Amino acid sequence: MLEITRKRLEKAGLIDRAELCCEDASEMPYEDNKFDGVFMSFTLELFDTPEIPKLLNDIKGVLKPGGRLAVVSMSKEGGESVLLKLYEWAHKKFPAYADCRPIYVEQSLKEVGFVIKQKEKVNVLGLPGEIVVGLKKDEKK
């Protein structure tokens, strides 16, 4: 994924405007207030529910004031479809194959203090998903 992104940025002439990193999200080695933005796609839902707030707080720490976190994830919000219930069953029975699970994306970001700037519902192979962009508040104001 990192190499694909690097190539796309080079093609668009934007490689000098971005710093790409690939690290363990549960042990980020970055100083506070380092990044303008963090992007996660189908990653947050891989963590156990109690780990999600810790991870989001760690991300909030490495974001500069006013920095943005963009999350693409399977969504539990409004998810009452038969397909979603079947997927959740498969996740419980066969987690090695259905490793992601639907989560409350917007609620998770709000609970750790992100201000929601954008939210879009998407359909991911018939399953509900969301794209949520949260803003780190400037604590000094």
Distance CA(41)–CA(132), nearest Å, equals 10
pTM tops 0.85, yes or no: no
What digits encode the pLDDT tens for the residues 40-58? 988 898 888 899 999 999 9
Q: Could you tell me if residue 141 is inside a domain?
A: no
Number of domains present in the structure of the chain:
1
- Residue 58 makes CB contacts below 8 A (sequence gap 6+) with 25, 26, 28
- Residue 6 makes CB contacts below 8 A (sequence gap 6+) with 15, 20
Q: Give the domain CATH number at 105.
A: 3.40.50.150
What digits encode the pLDDT tens for the residues 103-115? 899 999 999 999 9
Tell me what pLDDT residue 62 has: 93
In the chain, the percentage of residues whose pLDDT exceeds 70 is 96
Q: Could you tell me if residue 115 is inside a domain?
A: yes
Which domain does 33 fall in, by range?
Answer: 2-135
